[in-house]
Amino acid sequence: MTNKTTTLFGFTEVSVKLLDGTSHTVRVRQLPVRQMHAFLQAQDNEAQMIELACQLDSATVDLLAPESHELLIAKIEEVNADFFSRWVARLKNRTERLMPGVMEKRLSALGTSLPSAASKPA
């Protein structure tokens, strides 16, 4: 859930510390729709998520204190979760419409499956 400041300005500010003990203010922004695919690709790379959502260079990301790294990831997910989740759902639906069964095949290759209608909660 995003706060009013994030909604009005498209970002929230977070105070972070670097490994050298200095503090900095970092903007965690709501990503524009053009960057949703890049955000999807970055889901398994937290440093890349921070670079994208906070517009920090890789050298600065590497200097973040661990607790600041974790704080930024939490804020990035908080600020972007709603829109990103809906974007992913649309992407999944579109993919399934264009290539029926592809999602199930991908999940099967990973050793998992889509929940069946019988297993969905009432």
The yes-or-no verdict on residue 10 having pLDDT over 90 is: no
112 class by beta-carbon count within 10 Å (0-12 exposed, 13-18 middle, 19+ buried): exposed
Tokens (6 digits) for 92: 């999944």
pTM: 0.74
pLDDT digits (tens, 9 = 90+) for 26-58: 999 999 999 999 999 999 999 999 999 999 999
Separation of alpha carbons 75 and 88, rounded Å: 19
